[in-house]
Structure 1
Amino acid sequence: MKAYDRVLLKLSGEALAGDKRTGFDEDTCIRVANQVKQLVTEGIQVSIVIGGGNFWRGRTSETIDRTKADQIGMLATVMNCIYVSEIFRYVGIPTEVFTPFQCGSMTKLFSKDGVIDCMSRGGVAFLAGGTGHPYFSTDTATVLRAVELDCDIILMARAVDGVYDCDPKLNPNAKKFHEIPLQEVLDKKLGVVDLTATVLCIENKMPILLFGLSEDNSIVAAAQGKSNGTRMIVK
């Protein structure tokens, strides 16, 4: 039973790489595709943003200009979306890849009407290339697109299974939140999503559900309102 009509799914590039931590883990991508196929079959409209961390972490480099580093990151997300969209096609889901800048014949130029048309026809729209500008993360691009497309919620699939009061890798007693206001995430500087993305969510009352991608059927559970992750809300 679906809980939402239209969702934006944010996938971590690192999570798609699996244990390899770089590139792609095809089995992981196929599992994601089959779950999204179930959502589409249930009548949920789905668009997807994928991070580029399995290829590029330019912000950690001091040898490359920030603008150029971010541009490389944008192209990493394009590669991710083209690859994963083909995995989706392999399992029987029609897809289209949209970018905010021209990529020859490889992608389509982003427009709200184009993306909604793709989803209304039972396809999945991949939103690659971030915002098209440096200094904005894929988290910010995710929120921007979710707001533009009038999505009900952002489903954020990561390697971690929720929001904690501190790093669970460093503190085994870290407390996991089932639900937390986005303003509290901001005030406590929990670093779940970046500052710009958090503020944009608050201003536009866009909730986020953060959950672990590796859990069985986690995407389907999230879309059905049955996730064990953390729901970040706007009060």
Structure 2
Amino acid sequence: MEQPKYRRIVLKLSGEALAGQLGYGIDSQTIVSIAEQVKKVHELNIEIAIVVGGGNIWRGIAGSAKGIDRATADYMGMLATVMNSLALQDALENVGVPTRVQSSITMQQVAEPYIRRRAMRHLEKGRVVIFAAGTGNPYFSTDTTAALRAAEIEAEVILMAKNKVDGVYSADPSKDPTAVKFETLTYMDMLNKNLGVMDATAASLCMDNNIPLIVFSITEEGNIRRVVLGEQIGTIIRGSVS
């Protein structure tokens, strides 16, 4: 059997990735495709944690711009991530992958509360764990959640799956035909060049805890598996170039 490069990973999915071609809400065909890809990685005996965004349903910053109190708007965004997490859990279990949702906001009827040691135990038992509701605090993005949870559960890498680009570029490739794709970057390069991969808080957490980040496209079938097997696709971001 092929040997994976990583033992424990955090997969970061944007809410938009679940919307597929719809652009809004949850596209059933897309979420089934993602579940099938995760299943193939799970079959390699890799421990998988997932953080899902909520931008396909609600964005806190956008709500704040429309006059809603920022903290309230962010809590609404956290609830959107819970909806996405439950949908993804259902899709995963339908393809035979045991899954648990842990929420940073207590809602015992639909999800477990986030408890670090319990999450790690689930992973050790071969269950996929989906972290919902962000950090449980307003003003923090789901990118920061991914970095924080990766540090807490001692994940070896964060896989940032994108549905519009296949890596990190010097500019938006859909608008600038001269945009150059980076194969490798440091977190400082990413911040200094203002590439918009993740916010500064998330980047600082990754740098401080020496967690590499791989940005790649999820739209090509099998890419998650290729990444965990060590294929050079997308862009890898580290604390240093070495």
In the other structure, the counterpart of 1:4 is 6
Structure 1 vs Structure 2: percent identity of aligned residues?
A: 41
Q: Does 1:92 align with 2:96?
A: yes
In the other structure, the counterpart of 1:50 is 52
Distance in 1, Cα, partners of 2:60 & 2:115: 28
* 2:181 maps to which of 154, 170, 176: 176
In the other structure, the counterpart of 1:193 is 198
* 2:216 maps to which of 211, 215, 227: 211
Deviation at 1:227, TM superposition (A): 4.3
Deviation at 1:220, TM superposition (A): 0.7
In the other structure, the counterpart of 1:111 is 115
Amino acid in structure 2 at the alignment position of 1:33: A
Q: Does 1:28 align with 2:30?
A: yes
Deviation at 1:30, TM superposition (A): 1.3
In the other structure, the counterpart of 1:164 is 169
Amino acid in structure 2 at the alignment position of 1:103: M
Distance in 1, Cα, partners of 2:232 & 2:198: 19
* 2:74 maps to which of 46, 70, 87: 70
Distance in 2, Cα, partners of 1:101 & 1:16: 22
For the residue of structure 2 that corresponds to 1:142, the secondary structure is helix
The answer as to whether partners of 1:32 and 1:219 remain within 8 angstroms in 2 is no
The answer as to whether partners of 1:180 and 1:231 remain within 8 angstroms in 2 is yes
Distance in 2, Cα, partners of 1:62 & 1:198: 28
Question: Could you report, residue by residue, the CA deviation over 1:156-194 in whole angstroms, capped at 9, with x for unpaired residues?
Answer: 001221101111111011000011111100111111101
> Which 5+ residue runs of structure 2 have no aligned equivalent?
none
The answer as to whether partners of 2:19 and 2:56 remain within 8 angstroms in 1 is yes
Structure 1 consecutive aligned stretches of length 4 or more whose deviation exceeds 3 Å: none
> Which 5+ residue runs of structure 1 have no aligned equivalent?
none
* Matched pairs, number: 235
Distance in 1, Cα, partners of 2:108 & 2:4: 37
With normalisation by structure 2, the TM-score equals: 0.95
Q: Does 1:124 align with 2:110?
A: no
Question: Could you report, residue by residue, the CA deviation over 1:21-74 in whole angstroms, capped at 9, with x for unpaired residues?
Answer: 111111211111112112121110000000001001231233101000000000
In the other structure, the counterpart of 2:87 is 83
In the other structure, the counterpart of 2:137 is 133
* 1:38 maps to which of 32, 40, 50: 40
The answer as to whether partners of 2:60 and 2:75 remain within 8 angstroms in 1 is no
Deviation at 1:211, TM superposition (A): 0.4
Distance in 2, Cα, partners of 1:67 & 1:122: 36
Deviation at 1:108, TM superposition (A): 0.5
Distance in 2, Cα, partners of 1:227 & 1:56: 33
Deviation at 1:232, TM superposition (A): 0.5
The answer as to whether partners of 1:211 and 1:227 remain within 8 angstroms in 2 is no
With normalisation by structure 1, the TM-score equals: 0.97
Q: CA-atom RMSD, angstroms?
A: 1.0
